[in-house]
Structure 1
Amino acid sequence: MTARFFDLEAIGLRLLEDSRHRAVMLRGRGIVPCLALIEVGEDPQSAAYVTRKIEDCKKVGIDVRKVVLLQSVTQSALLAQVQMLDADNAVSGILVQLPLPSHLDEDAVIRAISPHKDVDGLHPVNLLSLTTAEPSIIPCTVSGIDALLSETGLALDGARVAILGRGKLVGLPASLLLSGQSRNTTVTVLHRKTKNLGNILKNSDIIIAAAGSAHLVTPDMVGAGAVVIDVGMSWPEGMLCGDVHPDVAEVAGWMTPPDRSFGVMTRMMLLKTVLDLAEKKATT
């Protein structure tokens, strides 16, 4: 068996055009979608992500209000900035680029954003909604995973899903969404200390790898025909590696391209979320 690869670039372009069309329609109704993006410090990797997000917004017609704060910014000053943007009616959604410097409390910053402006979908209210029949905001990477699962045409009800990684950006929200009332899969959350890791993965219909450990998932761990979505990234010896070994393509049914960033899907879902929030704000 040879896996069918998800064409992330083609799917991304289609989603970009969908967002461009939506933005034009919103502006035609006098609704101007606006993303407020807060960047703390000058981390090169974060700066690159922010640049690409801003470029995407410009392509589709989303206004961006970028705020850059010093690495040494205090917790109170950062929270004050968040609260100011939160109170601004022209702002559709707020994104604080993570991770933050170690002296800042990320969870407190996330909680300071109103749930209806929380583009990342990490506010406790939004995370809890993932378990319901109608999730309010799905975190962007998780939304990208969900979109790829739709591409397969696989019936999710009752499907066995293994999520490798339990981080707050992917593993946790993915487990809440996929085990919740809107998706109804049976989810097992795994990590590096899980016993019999390979056996659990091999008996799964869907594998979502988000551990950040290069080539952790090998062909002998994957059942024939499984859907394998790799969102993990690490850089051993300066080279980008996913969590899934390229040879998994020999047994999987569907698979993300080996050692390729999932970033395009995350970024496209960011655009969708901003537009969703702008539309909801206009109707309330």
Structure 2
Amino acid sequence: MPAQILDGKKIAAEVRAEVKEEVSRLKAEGINPGLAVVLVGEDPASQVYVRNKHRACEEVGIYSEVHRLPAATSQAELLKLIDKLNKDPKIHGILVQLPLPDHIDEKKVIDAIALEKDVDGFSPANVGNLVIGDKCFYPCTPHGCMVLLEKAGIDPKGKKAVVVGRSNIVGKPVAMMLLARHATVTICHSRTRDLAAECRQADILIAAVGKPELITGDMIKEGAVVIDVGINRVGEKKLVGDVHFESAAQKAGWITPVPGGVGPMTIAMLLKNTVEAARR
């Protein structure tokens, strides 16, 4: 029996509707949630992401401003802008779109964002709080994965979860979030021996490695939940995930499509974090 689809578009729309209601409540209290997005350079994918985030803010009533800086912007100039936004009372969340040009130290930029405005959840303090289980802003993509599970009624407790990918943006934080929900977690990566065998043990499989269709149906446990974080362009127009959808869908119990799975959830969770920052 083919897998049920974990529809990220539908669930993200539900989250956005909840956020819109919360924005209305905050505005009634005199608080207008505000997000500043900073884009350095002309990366086409980044421009699309920033445009989508700005549009999503407008839809739910969040004040949004976009700072577009040339690729030649110096690190000092970027840090000066972040300092200004840190002090701006109408801005509750700051997001610096990654990747940054090579001459800018990404870590220094992330470290410069005030903890209470780090709605991307990338700062060392937020990451540390995530690991020890303290209050923090969850990174948006991993949080989106967890909300997909929650909305589908899938409880990670006692389940075997396998995360393919160990990035700071997705792999590591989603592993910590699954662990916090009492899953038994394995993190796989490029040096994992027999990746297929590891994947076949997973009740919940999260693919976030950035390799087109790396995970095929014969690597999926019957009835597993498969969340595909990957977005890879193949050829001129085709977008595929890290999972070979057609073969995996024949084995999985639940699966996310690409596009339309995790992607919409990432922006929805950014909106949610921004509102939470304003509430705090």
On whether the aligned pair clears a TM of 0.5, the verdict is yes
**In 1, Cα distance between the equivalents of 2:260 and 2:137?**
26
The aligned counterpart of 2:99 is 99
State the superposition RMSD in angstroms: 1.3
Per-residue deviation at 1:88? 1.5
Per-residue deviation at 1:166? 1.1
**In 1, Cα distance between the equivalents of 2:233 and 2:62?**
32
**169-178 vs 108-117, which moves further:** 169-178
The aligned counterpart of 1:14 is 14
Q: Secondary structure at the match of 1:80?
A: helix
**Paired letter, 1:235:** R
**In 1, Cα distance between the equivalents of 2:136 and 2:209?**
26
Aligned-residue sequence identity (percent) comes to 40
User: Quick one: structure 1 residues 260 and 27, their matched pair in 2 at CA, closer, same or farther if it must change by over 3 Å?
Assistant: closer
**In 1, Cα distance between the equivalents of 2:171 and 2:277?**
24
Asked if the contact 2:220/2:251 (under 8 Å) is kept, the reply is yes
Per-residue deviation at 1:176? 2.2
Aligned: 1:242 with 2:215: no
Per-residue deviation at 1:10? 1.5
**In 1, Cα distance between the equivalents of 2:258 and 2:77?**
42
Asked if the contact 1:144/1:266 (under 8 Å) is kept, the reply is yes
Q: How does 1:73-88 map to 2 (within 5 A)?
A: 73-88=73-88
The aligned counterpart of 2:31 is 31
**In 2, Cα distance between the equivalents of 1:88 and 1:220?**
53
Q: How does 1:120-269 map to 2 (within 5 A)?
A: 120-179=120-179, 182-238=180-236, 239-246=238-245, 247-258=247-258, 260=260, 262-269=262-269
Asked if the contact 2:171/2:187 (under 8 Å) is kept, the reply is yes
Per-residue deviation at 1:87? 1.4
User: Quick one: structure 1 residues 149 and 134, their matched pair in 2 at CA, closer, same or farther if it must change by over 3 Å?
Assistant: farther
**In 2, Cα distance between the equivalents of 1:176 and 1:22?**
28
Asked if the contact 1:242/1:260 (under 8 Å) is kept, the reply is no
Per-residue deviation at 1:70? 1.2
Structure 1's consecutive aligned runs of 4 or more residues displaced over 4 angstroms after TM superposition are 258-261
Q: Secondary structure at the match of 1:67?
A: strand
**In 2, Cα distance between the equivalents of 1:102 and 1:234?**
22
Asked if the contact 2:57/2:63 (under 8 Å) is kept, the reply is yes
Cα deviation per residue 1:75-123 (whole Å; 9 max; x = unaligned)? 1111111111111122101000111111111111001111111011000
Per-residue deviation at 1:44? 1.3
**In 2, Cα distance between the equivalents of 1:251 and 1:152?**
18
Asked if the contact 1:233/1:240 (under 8 Å) is kept, the reply is yes
User: Quick one: structure 1 residues 30 and 260, their matched pair in 2 at CA, closer, same or farther if it must change by over 3 Å?
Assistant: closer
**In 2, Cα distance between the equivalents of 1:248 and 1:25?**
43
Q: Secondary structure at the match of 1:161?
A: strand
**In 2, Cα distance between the equivalents of 1:46 and 1:103?**
17
**In 1, Cα distance between the equivalents of 2:155 and 2:119?**
28
Cα deviation per residue 1:181-237 (whole Å; 9 max; x = unaligned)? x31222111112211100011001111001111111111111011110001111121
**Paired letter, 1:183:** R
Per-residue deviation at 1:260? 4.4
**63-72 vs 131-140, which moves further:** 131-140
Normalising to structure 1: TM-score of the pair? 0.94
**152-161 vs 221-230, which moves further:** 152-161
Normalising to structure 2: TM-score of the pair? 0.96
User: Quick one: structure 1 residues 190 and 100, their matched pair in 2 at CA, closer, same or farther if it must change by over 3 Å?
Assistant: same
**In 1, Cα distance between the equivalents of 2:257 and 2:140?**
19
Per-residue deviation at 1:135? 3.7
User: Quick one: structure 1 residues 21 and 32, their matched pair in 2 at CA, closer, same or farther if it must change by over 3 Å?
Assistant: same
Q: Secondary structure at the match of 1:251?
A: coil
**Paired letter, 1:24:** S
**In 2, Cα distance between the equivalents of 1:258 and 1:68?**
28
